[in-house]
Amino acid sequence: MPAANTNVTPSSTAIPAPGTGPSPQLFFETANAFQRSQALKAAVELELFTVIGEGKQSSEEIAAGCNASARGTRILCDFLVINGLLRKQANRYSLTRDSAVFLNKKSPAYLGSALRFLLTPEKVEGYNILVEAVRKGGTAIEHHAMLPENPIWVEFAQSMAPLMTMPAEMLATMLKAEQGKPWKVLSLAVGHGLYETSLARHNSNAEIWAVDWPNVLELARTNAVNAGIG
């Protein structure tokens, strides 16, 4: 590659002072944001938060608990620290308050199962063809979520249910279910049925009618039976 000489305008070499010039930071953060979703999903699948919740602290201990390599575990943990989902001090990892409540499988408010719906392949697929959806003004997925009996809603009802346990109890309290009035409750798109089960548990005089696609209704029925209703 022999050299040649050309003119360069001074402005093309001007260096902006830090913090004053335009920044590509948001661009790179946004472009790489998908890595955050995938790291969280991998950590949940490896039960990494649960293992740390059991008291494992070093990457070696955590790796042993997750049946993973120490190197891979350390890199994943460090990424989760950067993104606020773990803490690290002197090479020992610990859960944040929110991770302890929502990501440890042994917590009653465990949300990890929600990823099965939030990151279900059918849902993620739609974002791979987002350009088509924007051109069309609606989903570009052929077997989209609004088709009757799409199994995605069974997955939804199963995996999002834990999130609704507390609100369902709160609803029963707010509606004074314990007064035992002879309610007639109509629930449209009942889903997992946790709200209705909670009302029924607190008010034995409630008569509840649940409507949903047959495959989802089957799950709501199972959940109700498991909760001692029905």
Alpha-carbon span 197 to 168, nearest angstrom = 8
| 214 interacts with its own copies by CB under 8 A | no
Q: Which stretch binds its own copies (CB under 8 A): 7-15, 86-94, 141-149, 152-160?
A: 7-15
Could you tell me the two tokens for 36? Answer: 């955050």
Q: Please say whether the beta carbons of 161 and 192 come within 8 A.
A: yes
| 66 interacts with its own copies by CB under 8 A | yes
Site residues for its own copies, window 13-42 (CB under 8 A)? 13, 15, 22-28, 30-42
Q: Return the residue of 105, 106, 136, 181 that touches its own copies, per CB under 8 A.
A: 136
**Taking CA 203 as the corner, what is the angle to CA 200 and CA 208, rounded to the nearest 5 degrees?**
40
| 98 interacts with its own copies by CB under 8 A | yes
Site residues for its own copies, window 138-167 (CB under 8 A)? 138, 163, 165-166
Q: Return the residue of 54, 149, 207, 218 that touches its own copies, per CB under 8 A.
A: 207
Q: Return the residue of 82, 91, 105, 130 that touches its own copies, per CB under 8 A.
A: 130
| 12 interacts with its own copies by CB under 8 A | yes
Q: Which stretch binds its own copies (CB under 8 A): 50-58, 86-94, 122-130, 142-150?
A: 122-130
DSSP per residue, 85-119: SEEEETTEEEE-HHHHHHT-TTSTT--GGGHHHHT
| 106 interacts with its own copies by CB under 8 A | no
Q: Which stretch binds its own copies (CB under 8 A): 87-95, 142-150, 153-161, 169-177?
A: 169-177
**Taking CA 43 as the corner, what is the angle to CA 41 and CA 47, rounded to the nearest 5 degrees?**
115
Q: Which helix (H) or strand (E) holds 184?
A: strand 184-188
Sign of CA dihedral 55, 59, 61, 65: positive
